[in-house]
Amino acid sequence: MNARASGPALGRGLSALIPSRDETETGAHEIPLSEIRANPNQPRRDVEHANLEALATSISDHGVLQPILVTETLDGYRIVAGERRVQAARLAGLERIPAVIRQLADREQLELALVENVQREDLNPIEEANAFRQLQQEFGLTQDEIARQVGRARTTITNTLRLLELDEGVQAAVADGRLSEGHARALIGLPAIQQLHLVSVIVEDGLSVRQAEELARRLREPRPAPEKAEPHADPDLERVEEDLRNALGTKVSVARGRKGGRIVIEYYNDEDLGRLYDRLTGGTA
C-alpha cells in the first residue's frame, strides 16, 4: 500500500478511518485480547486510571461499542487505534474484542493513532509534540502535511513542536497539567534554570499567561552596563543578584557599601507590586 495514499482519508477525520460497529458487522472480527500487542509508536503515554476504570465499567455493562483498529503481525495483532479500549476490556475481564483488521505501513499506523487521539483530545501537548516530531523525523512529513493529516493549522503544529525546546522539567509540568501550553510557550528561549524558576513563580502565584510573558520578557532584557565598571566584580554578589532575579521574576540589583549595602527590587505596576509583596511576605497586599 502506498503510504501517501492515506492522506486524504486522514484529512476527512476519524469517521473516515474507523467505521462504527453497525457499519462493520461484516468487517469486524472478534479477536483474542491475548494476541493483541501495544503499538510502540502509540503517541499517548499516560492513561488516567480513574478514566480507565470508568470505561471498564461501561464495557462490562454494554460491551465494546466501537471496534478497535489493528494490523496483523507475525505474532498476532498490533493496536493502531483503540489502546484505551483494549486496556479497559482487559480490566473488565473480557477475553475477546471486536476489531477491524487492516494491513498498514508503520507511518500509517502512527498517523492513525495520532489522529484518533488528537480528535478525541486524549493527548497532552507534550505527547502531541513528540508524535509530530516522530512524523517529521522518522517519516519525513513536513509541518504542512502534518497539519493536513490531523486537521490543525500549520501554526498550531509549529507552536506545539516548539514545546520540545523547553527543559524536561517544564515539559513534565505541561504534561501533568500544572502548566498550560500558553504559559510554557512564554518560557521558550530562556536558560533552563530560569525556566524552572519561572514555573515555580507561575504555579505558586497563579499568574496569567500575559503575566508569565511579561516576566519572561524582563528576564530576556539585557542588563544595563554600570555607569562605572568595578575593577574587581564580586562573583558571589553577582550570583546572589541572579538568584534573586530568578526567584522573584523581576529585575533585582544588589550594591555593597562600606557598611552593608542595598537591594533594589523593581516593579512595574500595582498588580506587580502585590505579587511581589505576596511572594516576599506570604501575605496579601
Q: Which residues are the active-site residues?
A: 83
CA dihedral 53, 58, 64, 67 (to 10 degrees): -70
Cell digits of residue 98: 471486536
Q: Please name which of 113, 19, 26, 38 lies closest in space to residue 76, comparing C-alpha atoms.
A: 38
Residue 227 CA, chain-centre distance (Å), reads 45
The conformational region for residue 93 under phi > 0 = left, psi -120 to 50 = alpha, else beta, is left
Cα 65 from Cα 106, distance rounded (Å): 26
The conformational region for residue 189 under phi > 0 = left, psi -120 to 50 = alpha, else beta, is left
Q: Please name which of 37, 23, 30, 102 lies closest in space to residue 63, comparing C-alpha atoms.
A: 30
Judged by DSSP in three states, 25 sits in coil
Q: Is the dihedral of CA 29, 31, 36, 38 positive or negative?
A: positive
- 136 membership: H or E segment, kind and range: helix 125-137
Cell digits of residue 27: 468487517
- H-only helix segments in 16-73: 49-62
